Amino acid sequence: MTMDIQTKQQHVETTMRLAPVIPVVIIEDARHAVPMARALVAGGIPAIEVTLRTSAALDAIRAIAQEVEDAVVGVGTVLTAKDLEAAEKAGARFAVSPGVSPKLLAAADDSALPLLPGVATASEAMALLERGYRHLKFFPAVPAGGVKLLGAWASPLPQIRFCPTGGIAAATAKDFLSLSNVLCVGGSWLTPNDMLQSGDWAAIEQLAREAAALRG
């Protein structure tokens, strides 16, 4: 049964409030998915965005959904209706897109997956607000205007809460998290490729702990 947009947005908000950071994961080997997810969860980061940028992504989502009970696994880099359908079948619990198109929004209306859509301008944010989206991804956060632009939107767009993603690092995440209209940030620094390839799950867990403490 497909939820209405308000219910889906409540699910998105709940996911955004789980931790200060949602890891944006590019995974090359699905065998790394479960130990990576367990390390992130152990470090206090339960929501995980696995991007559809590799052929291993859907298998990774499926494995995490089946084997890591406390993880809330989502799908990123969603571009089409087929992406939404495949991710939902794999067990994803939320979807994230870099931007939006009329076809993608129509597919999201018909999908059970709650969508966190990407925007880079106030006009895009207003258009999504008209459709009932109050929780948005600001992407690419740093190139698009960073903390200053997002902070400037807080007064004219008080209904919207953001997850800025793109160019954010551990050292700059707090600057975004201090904004009144930011619930969390997205970042790839929690799961660097070298740690995934070497299986350094302890190091990933430590990065997760540091990220989970950012709002402390």
- Annotated catalytic sites, by residue? 49, 137
Residue 32 structure tokens: 């790394």
